[in-house]
Structure 1
Amino acid sequence: MSRGARLTVYGLLAVLVLALGFGAWGLWTMFGAGARHGPTSAQWHAAQDRVRELEQQVATLSRSDQISREANRDLQATLSDREEQIAGLRADVAFYERFVGATAQRRGLAVHELKLQPQTDQAWHFTATLTQNLNRGAVNRGRLQLSVEGTRGGKLETLDWGRLRQQSQADGMAYSFKYFQQIEGEIVLPPDFQPLRVTARLQPDNGERVDQSFTWAQAADAQDDAAQRPG
């Protein structure tokens, strides 16, 4: 809890203690003088009214304390969210500068990162980050396909793009970008297939094909590195 919130809570508690103290003194004052003969009806009703008033004050103070705590939690959550947004923006800037900055190293068409996320036992969602800054300003167009090597029944097996997409004539995923782009899609592995390696194949409309391989464990365990996230 922040210092301001603590001071607010302490202040509420102090008011509550004072209210209860004055309430007790008031009851003693009303009943003390007539204690030998018992309280009158008027005194009794006045006491009941005072008790209800004090109960209402306690309820109000308790609610105020709860609101203060909730507001503090909301503030902390908002600050945490803003810090994450700032970190993300800084990561985006670092990523952009790596490819479009004046001192950026020139690189041709490549798969900067390939990430796989399980959807079901056989279905996987992939995210491929494509990059290039060799031809500045030029638009790169083409198609992306994946293939997966693994074992099934103790034998090596390679699944091409058509089998992964469960369409024999499946087209690759189209891409078109100047510096970087993320391509997302779904692939499906057959039952009892143990994947070992995944290969991303980029076929530009004009230019030579680019193949890049990643171990399955590397792609499946890939995290959103703050320095590698494109916006």
Structure 2
Amino acid sequence: MAEDPRYHAPMPDSQLPEHPHPRAHLALLILLAAALLFGLWGVWTVVGARGGEAATVGSELDGLRQQVATLARSDQVSREANQDLQGTLAERDEEVSALRADVAFYERLVGSTSQRRGLTVHGLRLQPQGEGAWHFTATLTQTLNRAAVSRGRLTLAVEGSRNGSLERLEWSDLRPQDDAMGAEYSFKYFQQLEGDILLPEGFTPLRVHVRLAPVGAPAVDGSFPWADAAGDVAPRSSPDA
């Protein structure tokens, strides 16, 4: 059987498949690489800008935190200074009030229109010292005989309750170890006599009695409610019944 000459005849050049030129491949690769680099540059630019903005915001936040801390500290210092000032003013007010009270007392005592009185306990003040101890300040006056000097001894007695029963503590009970005869005084117009007493545990004081035993003269007594004597203003005495 004769072969078909169509199967062995060479194909004309115009019918062969065309292959791309190597330079076209290179140009395509360069174009792809350029596009990739451009995309990476765009991403880097955006990330860098966002990073710069974040750093700026962080710096601003740090600055604001520092300002808040500084203002808070300044406010604290101002508050402390204001409290100190208020305390100082309160102390000055107390000193002024005490001085005014002293001036009024001196005017009543030695003024030309003051009433002359014999030896008396003008006032008594009690201040707690802790653990049953109390510090007393007794103001003694005498204007009846302004040329004379009053001398004698002062003693205290305290009435109160303990274990549901009324009880009276004498000077020897309040100061069992010293000054058994009383605290000495000596003055011409007035004197503030100070000392300490000790109350036993469980004793509730109600009233304090003051006795002045002048040399060569009858004793002088005065009494004060304990609550008044232990207050801020020393009360004036009232005669014992």
Q: TM-score, normalised by structure 2?
A: 0.60
Partners of 1:165 and 1:115 in 2: how far apart? 17
- Partner SS for 1:77: helix
Considering Cα pairs closer than 8 Å and 6+ residues apart, tell me whether 1 or 2 has the greater RCO: 1
Comparing 142-151 and 56-65, the one that deviates more: 142-151
Cα 1:51–1:181 change in 2 (3 A) is same
Partner of 1:65: 75
Q: What is the rounded CA distance, in whole Å, between the counterparts of 2:164 and 2:80 in structure 1? A: 58
The offset of 1:112, in angstroms, is 1.4
Q: What is the number of equivalent residue pairs in this alignment?
A: 191
Distance 1:120 1:56, change over 3 A: closer
1:188-224 alpha-carbon deviations (Å, 9 max, x no partner): 566787767644222223x312221426xx1343234
Give 5+ residue unaligned stretches, structure 1.
Answer: 1-33
Q: Tell me the SS of whatever aligns to 1:221.
A: helix
1:183 equivalent among 189, 193, 205: 193
Structure 2 runs not aligned, ≥5 long: 1-42, 237-241
Which range moves more in the overlay, 152-161 or 90-99?
152-161
Amino acid at match of 1:128: A
Residue 200 (1) aligns with residue 210 (2): yes
Q: Which has the larger radius of gyration?
A: 2
1:61-210 equivalences in 2 (<5 Å): 61-116=71-126, 124-136=134-146, 138-148=148-158, 160-167=170-177, 170-188=180-198, 198-205=208-215, 207-210=216-219
Letter in 1 for 2:219: V
> How many Å separate the matches in 2 of 1:226 and 1:192?
25
Question: Among residues 223, 230, 233, which one is paired with 1:225 in the alignment?
Answer: 233
> How far 1:184 moved relative to its partner?
2.6
Provide the identity percentage: 57
